[in-house]
Structure 1
């Protein structure tokens, strides 16, 4: 099966020999610590690395301000459990990450989608929707956003809009849930400043090592406002006691060697090559009227097909042909997305990308021809 559905990173370029040597050294030198309970906020050496890592996106925060978690998904769940009440409204991009929305809806929040364009979430639309929500007597709790190489849309929130969105949220007493697993994965290495600087009092910043190193280690973090730190730390401790000490040690050892930055640059090149192969093939095979965005990093291509094609209805046929993607409906809570789909180019090989895209082109072209005949 050729999967354009899985947002998993390509791991084939990782230096497994060095990681294995680190693993052996860690266990021989401090095996009892590795396998023992640890601090609920994470080991000090990793929190120090995270503090340095966030500086690349303009964030100034000390190690003691960070809470390490078992992946950023767990951090988001902890934050929602502490801060979101049933019936609260969470604003999210249209479309938005299904896993993030699922966290909020699991605590009975309502998702209200904010339209995007090529520069990301549209501040004027957010302002309009805040007014509508409050006019309806509902509680507007916060904004969930992935500002860098957004999942699934692939777009970046422009620098100007980051400031506008921050000011809108502050003036309307909204929290910002800033989810940023892809920020260091720009194809050209450019890193945009986070929303958090300047809005530290209202922003919960979520980071992850899953996309830039390895998801199997299950290590992420949250940088909350100082006023919320204790509440989130207590909630995190009740849900997991502490994140894996051994996983944290492995990542910390990986980051001890400055070569991790060269490896990340290599991965950027790999993902750029895969993205290019996908777009080149789609250009050749997709039916007229199909469009897509032009991401400059990350893992995803957001495709819009002619409206008479239902991407959700064609999933089964594509699976029968050996290809799978995620229909656009998975990224909305209001039933939208039937003429859209997300294609993840991060994991398949170049040959698989070209073959899978060609199959999709055949299926979608046949669907267009079939609807034209029925008309």
Structure 2
């Protein structure tokens, strides 16, 4: 007879966790005929599956004993080198093999950061609204999420400064600001450079770490990008993912962190995931190194831009007076 477990058997972190809204949405989206505007899945029709099959086949035939084996817990140097080059598109020149950690998707990276940084009752600042997946991580870590208002250009610096000062006056402990500055999820906003600089200044003055989640930064509909916040401050924690710009099924993400924090993140990551899949990492690395992935990304940008414009046209035609919305220039959940 199976033993019955109740809430009294669970950890405090699990007792405080809430069911993911993302899970509920995906369950609804699976119903026949349902078109969901709440969840997002990459459109993979442009994905060069034949080329990926060739990459995978070559890896298995020529490097099978290597890619099917355990690897290092921080990720392969081959993939790190490709990611370091990739981030230079957004101005990040301060990423190294030593401060870059490969994760099993971006969510795993955020969970690792939360486990290292958060004690029960700590405050995490986040945009209002923000990613439901991130909020689930922070709630599970028993943090209190304090939201800061956004407008059509993203997080509002004056609101952030006022919130920080109010929390400090209460003696509250702020662990970090979680922000998605480029094509924010779910707001679709792109934070301009001047505002990014101001937010970095505010956080530096108050000794608040910034966690910059950037899975959508290369998805500008016209190919436009903005300097990552990490590019101008090596104390910013940068979280990246290949899920939106390439493919989600391989579950490859990464973190770039200040050197001292990167070491601790690596130790925590090793405890949960002794090593990310070497095979998945090398498929991504080979793709980025040897395939014309930029042309595929261009196809994604054009397609997502058409979809966004179709939605904007429908809003213009059907929304009643008084309703406003963001007009995104890129992204995935626009």
- Asked if these proteins are the same fold (TM beyond 0.5), I'd say yes
Deviation at 1:5, TM superposition (A): 2.0
Q: Partner residue of 1:98? A: 132
* CA deviation string 1:45-97 (max 9, x = no partner): 10000000111111112233210000011011001100111111111111111
Q: Partner residue of 1:234? A: 267
The runs of 4+ residues in structure 1 deviating greater than 6 Å are: none
Asked whether the 8 Å contact 1:47–1:64 carries over to 2, the reply is: no
Runs of at least 5 residues in structure 2 that lack an aligned partner in the other structure:
1-33
Asked whether the 8 Å contact 1:219–1:247 carries over to 2, the reply is: yes
Q: Partner residue of 1:368? A: none
What is the alpha-carbon distance in structure 1 between the residues aligned to residue 111 and residue 311 of structure 2? 34
Q: Partner residue of 1:180? A: 214
Asked whether the 8 Å contact 1:50–1:63 carries over to 2, the reply is: no
Deviation at 1:258, TM superposition (A): 4.7
Number of corresponding residues: 300
Deviation at 1:39, TM superposition (A): 0.7
Q: TM-score under structure 2 normalisation?
A: 0.88
What is the alpha-carbon distance in structure 2 between the residues aligned to residue 33 and residue 3 of structure 1? 41
What is the alpha-carbon distance in structure 2 between the residues aligned to residue 52 and residue 4 of structure 1? 34
User: Does residue 329 of structure 2 align to residue 264 of structure 1?
Assistant: no
Q: Partner residue of 2:250? A: 217
Asked whether the 8 Å contact 1:48–1:63 carries over to 2, the reply is: yes
User: Does residue 244 of structure 2 align to residue 200 of structure 1?
Assistant: no
Asked whether the 8 Å contact 2:98–2:259 carries over to 1, the reply is: no
Within 5 Å, which residues of 2 pair with 1:57-136?
57-60=90-93, 61-136=95-170
Cα RMSD (Å): 1.1
> Greater CA deviation, 149-158 or 54-63?
54-63
Q: Partner residue of 2:88? A: 55
Q: TM-score under structure 1 normalisation?
A: 0.78
Within 5 Å, which residues of 2 pair with 1:297-316?
297-301=330-334
SS in 1 for 2:238: strand
What is the alpha-carbon distance in structure 1 between the residues aligned to residue 153 and residue 312 of structure 2? 20
Match of 2:315 among 282, 287, 291: 282
Asked whether the 8 Å contact 2:244–2:332 carries over to 1, the reply is: no
What is the alpha-carbon distance in structure 2 between the residues aligned to residue 300 and residue 80 of structure 1? 24
User: Does residue 285 of structure 2 align to residue 252 of structure 1?
Assistant: yes
What is the alpha-carbon distance in structure 2 between the residues aligned to residue 228 and residue 124 of structure 1? 28
User: Does residue 59 of structure 2 align to residue 26 of structure 1?
Assistant: yes
Deviation at 1:8, TM superposition (A): 1.3
Asked whether the 8 Å contact 2:99–2:263 carries over to 1, the reply is: no
What is the alpha-carbon distance in structure 2 between the residues aligned to residue 226 and residue 63 of structure 1? 10
Match of 2:324 among 291, 315, 327: 291
What is the alpha-carbon distance in structure 2 between the residues aligned to residue 220 and residue 175 of structure 1? 20
